[in-house]
Structure formats: C-alpha cells, structure tokens
Structure 1
C-alpha cells in the first residue's frame, strides 16, 4: 500500500466520481482507475460500490478512509512541526470567530510584533467550529459559545451581559433600562438561525417573557447587523464587544433588567493537534490582550 494510492483513494472517496477525481488530481482517468483497482487488490476487498459511472464508498471503504484521513493529518502536523523547528515557516494561523469585528485591532496589535505571520479567518456556526477544531483544520476558536470535547481546551476571557441597542429616534431611546416584555412587538436585526448567539437570546426571551424576538432582518456577520442598525432598521441584542471596537453606540445602549444570562467569550483549541510556534505565540497574546480590556 503506497501513500500515492491512499492520496488517490482519498480524493475519489471525496468526489465519488472517477472522472472528476482524475481532473482534480490532474492525471488520466485510466491511470486513476488502475491505481484504485491495485489498492483494492492489495487489500483484498472492494472499497466502492459501482453503478455505471457512479461509485459510492462502501463499508470497507469507509473504514479505510477514516484511517487514511488520520494518516494525512499526522503527516501535515509533522510537516508543520518540522518547518517550525527548521525555521522555514514564518507561521500561518487559522482562527474561527463568532465576531469578526474583534479581529482587526487584535490582529493589528499582534502583527506589529510578528509581521511575518499570516492569518486565515473562518466564520462558522459553533457546531462547525467544533468539527474543524477536532479535525485540526483550524488552530483555535474565539467564541461566546463554550466548545467542549474530550481533547478540547476552553479558556474563559471575558464575561458580560447582553445589552439592547436602540436607534436614535425610537420610543425606547434614552431609557436606562427596559423589561423583556416591552420588546414583544418590536422588530429586531440579528444573525440568522443556526448561530449560537441567536439561539441563546431567543431562548432567554422565551424563558423570561414567553416570546421569541421578531427578527425581520437576518444576516451572517455582526458588522452587517450594526450597519443596518445605524440606518434605523430595528433593535439589536448584543454584547458590548460586538460594537465597542467598531463604533460608539454607548448612547444607544439600554440595559435589559430581567433578561438573565451572561455571555463568556472564550478561546478554544485542541490538545490533540500540534500548534505551530506562531499559533502558540498568538494563543498567549489573545489571553493577555483580553485581560487588558476594561469591563
């Protein structure tokens, strides 16, 4: 069994079509078919169920794919560790975040100290973040939803309440506080269903006053929520960190007296996967960075 055979097998298993896999691998289709056939001959069982031009990974193939993914993951992590030790890699950090507006100031401060490090940002629901952490596709997550798992570490960074953002000319503007029941008939702007914060705040309102906020505009990013808010399109439920670094909305902030619940921003990473020197430095930097932010 050769590493090249396993690489070809992994690609075919992903796309489940020989022609498409051959194009992706940039090799001739007959050559790919022969390689897969030799691999099946060496193992002694078929790895795919074939129906015309369509192939589907069978039970034997799924067992092999699980092990093959682990093999290539280990090879990639070995390469990263060797590059670190040899000084050939300036560092690439992949981070998943709940709030994209947290990053510009924080990354800018880090890159001032480490200008050769490269960042890749991922914005996904918490369930996807957890999968990416467990598979080693990202280095760490910065999110308000605690991510747990047998190999996942979670470091709390900052805890705060959810606030209500009210447009300038809204009847609730200027109030020091409101009760949840007063928001029953209001229109809200928020992230779409599937994101942890939306599910959490919907649940708090249901528990406190028996209704789910009427969210008339749903988007994927907090920056879009804030821009729509500034145009007066609705109310917003938000932690302070969602807007503090982007715009001054302190005069639009109203406390919700009986909403309940607190948000804790945390940093999550996997003990199972290797963190490059750059990622380790950034990990330490994030913890120090948030310890310096005033409540």
Structure 2
C-alpha cells in the first residue's frame, strides 16, 4: 500500500475537508480526490460518508485511521532514531500547549543554550486534545495545567504559580492588596471560552468560593483579557506573572480559596525521543530540580 496515499488519507481524515487538505498537502484538489478514491478501491470499502460537498469519516475510516496513525508514527520515530544514530543531534522538538505565553518563558533559556534546535509548537484548547497528539506520536511533549494520570504517561511538575485577580483602575477594590474571592461574586468576569484548561481551573476557584461567575466576555485570546480589564469591562483571573505587563495591571492576591496552578511537562513513555528532545527534557528537569511522575 502506497505510503503517500496513507499520508493523504490521514490529512483528509483530520480536516474532513478535501480543499483544506489539498492546500495543506500542496497538491491539486482533484488529484487528492483521485488518491483517496484509489485507496478506498484498494480496501474495498468507502472511508468517508459524502453528503453533497461535505465529507465525514465513517466507521471504516475511523477504524483504518487508528492503524494509519500508528504506522506513520512508527515510521517517523524510526526516521528520527536513524538521524540520531548518524550523529544528527540537531533537529525539531514538537510541542503542544494551551497557553503560548507561559511556554515562551520556559523555552527562552533553552534556546539561548541550544540555538541549533528548532521547535514546532501547536496550540490546543483542551488537554485531551494534546494527549491525543502524544498518543498518535505527532508531538514529543505537551505542557498541561495539571497532572495527567494515564498508563504510559510521564508528567514532570514545573513551578507552581499564583493566580491573582486583575481589576480595572476604577474598581472599588483597586486599593486593596488582598481579598476573599467571594467579595467579587456579583462582578462581571472576563475569561477564556469553556473548554480551555485555564477556564476550567478558574471556574473551580469560583465554585469553591460559592458562586458561578457572571462571564460577560469570553474569547480565544488570552492576551486580550488584560486589554478588556484595562477598558473597565470587568475583572479577570490572571497568572501572577502578568505583573510584568506594560502598562502594569492592578493585581490583587486572593486569600481564600487558595488560587494557584502547577504546569506540567508531559510525554509518552514509549515514544522515541530524539537527542534534541532528550536534552530539552533534561534541561527542564535540571532547571526545576524534581523527579518525573509516572
């Protein structure tokens, strides 16, 4: 079976859109359609349900995709292992994260030491999506906002960071240094959309304080939250590192409940890690000085 057909099928299965897949693969859409049709002919079954111009992966396609992901993932691992055996330590490290800002602080020191290493970074909304990428072999590591307890998953805790409340300069509590979270139970909140890990964590903080937050603005851009707070639209949870922003925000310590998070470096135990990826993991472990959790 032609490996190129498998790669094309994997891309079409992921996008469930012929035109998008063709653009991503840099081939003509009619040629891609022919390749998929030939693959289906080889297998003797349709892999997609076609409704008008839309396509959806069917039962046969979903079953076949699992094996295609494993096969192509194993070949990619083999390629990277051969590169290492040949002494090609330089390479790409593939990461996934829900928040790009936090990752920048972690990557900076490593890149300054190893400018020869390249990173490919994917932003994902949910941690389940990142774990799925790990298990398919599409990434080496992901940064999660909590420990992931699954067989074969290794997690390494990074530095625990306080979560604070950002308020506009005109807010009634702007002169306070600390509060109980229940004091803003009736305030309008700005946050990420449901599905983001940070949203899940902060919703739990509010639940512990005995209220459901009144979300007046929710979006996909973490960096935009600060702008909305400055505009006076509402209050928001932010990592304490936000105090470095220019212009600075008014950040208030939350006494009760305890509001903090611990990001984790996560990888798949059986996934082959290149020398570059191993050096990155070793750097993280040395920097944070702890033992990975299995």
Question: TM-score when scaled to structure 2?
Answer: 0.79
Distance of aligned partners of 1:30 and 1:65 in 2 relative to their CA distance in 1, 3 Å threshold = closer
User: Relative to structure 1, is the Cα distance of residues 4 and 244 closer, same or farther in structure 2, using a 3 angstrom cutoff?
Assistant: same
Structure 1 unmatched runs, 5+ = none
The one of 264, 276, 279 equivalent to 1:278 is: 276
Answer whether contact 1:97 1:122 (CA < 8 A) is retained: yes
Q: Find the structure with the greater CA-based Rg.
A: 1
Aligned partners of 1:260 and 1:52: how far apart in 2? 51
SS at match of 2:160: strand
1:10-29, aligned counterparts within 5 Å? 10=10
Contact 1:146 1:266 survives alignment (8 Å): yes
TM-score normalized with structure 1 length: 0.79
Contact 1:5 1:39 in 2 (8 A): no
Cα RMSD, aligned residues only: 3.5
1:154 aligned counterpart, secondary structure: strand
Q: What residue number does 1:127 align with?
A: 128
Partner of 1:237: 237
Q: How does 1:254-293 map to 2 (within 5 A)?
A: 254-260=252-258, 262-290=260-288
Asked if the contact 1:101/1:245 (under 8 Å) is kept, the reply is no
- Alignment partner, residue 39 of structure 1: 42
Equivalences for residues 135-214 of structure 1 within 5 A: 135-209=136-210, 211-214=211-214
Report deviation, 1:79: 0.7
Change (3 A) 1:8 1:172: closer
Q: What SS does structure 2 have at the residue aligned with 1:204?
A: helix
Q: Is the 8 A contact 1:141 1:269 kept in 2?
A: yes
Change (3 A) 1:133 1:208: same
Unaligned runs of 5+ in 2: none
Tell me the equivalent position of 2:77.
77
Q: Which residue of 2 aligns with 1:219?
A: 219
